[in-house]
Structure 1
């Protein structure tokens, strides 16, 4: 199987937390690559825009009726999204450093990682049927 096909299959089988973690990883990597570049550099503005889009999408999802997250968590995510938007404008103008955006994203990634660990720990352990094959990774 080609690498592209494997990546497509992997993305199709990941949980929503894994998808969110992957997105935060990609966006945060772009922010880190933009750190230290001139404020007018296209990479800075592309990374800031992508980060804003991510946070805006999260806020929109939290505002939708039927979202299963606790109300207080949803409110916190919406508040963070508003802050990210305002702070990103300050970064784009050269008034603030991009590092705070990187730090916020890393904190969210830590929470998503801990959530994934809890889900693995709480999941019932099932023993797959033996096929007689010994597959090792």
Structure 2
């Protein structure tokens, strides 16, 4: 089976929650890599921060849609977190804050997407 065929099959079999978890994992890894190397290229750091901000912006946009099936209170919390992520990201870009809180928020989202929050 070719790599492209495998990717296509995986995407078809993956439910939206798994896709969100996978995307959060990729973005969080990029943030962790940027945080781990303070001497890294500024462009790499900015790319990771921008990717994370775009992910959260997309979540907020989706949650603002009246047809979104999540409960209104959960949607409001996600939108609120998105606003915080945007503000904190700007502060990180100005080197006024650290990346770690962004990583922690993403990890909490991943825990919720994996069902870990229900088990806790």
Q: Compute the RMSD of aligned alpha carbons.
A: 1.8
CA shift, 1:4, in A, is 3.1
> After TM superposition, which residue ranges in structure 1, 4 or more long, deviate above 6 angstroms?
none
Q: Which has the larger radius of gyration?
A: 1
TM-score (norm 1): 0.80
Higher relative contact order, structure no. (Cα contacts within 8 Å, ≥ 6 residues apart): 2
- Structure 1 alignment gaps of length 5 or more: 119-137
Q: Relative to total residues, which structure has the larger helix share, 1 or 2?
A: 2
TM-score (norm 2): 0.90
- Structure 2 alignment gaps of length 5 or more: none
Q: How does 1:9-20 map to 2 (within 5 A)?
A: 9-20=9-20
Structure 1 residues 31 and 56: CA distance shift in structure 2, 3 A = same
Write out per-residue CA displacement over residues 9-67 of structure 1, whole angstroms, 9 at most, x where no aligned residue: 10122111011001101100110110033487111100010000000000000000111
Aligned residues: 117
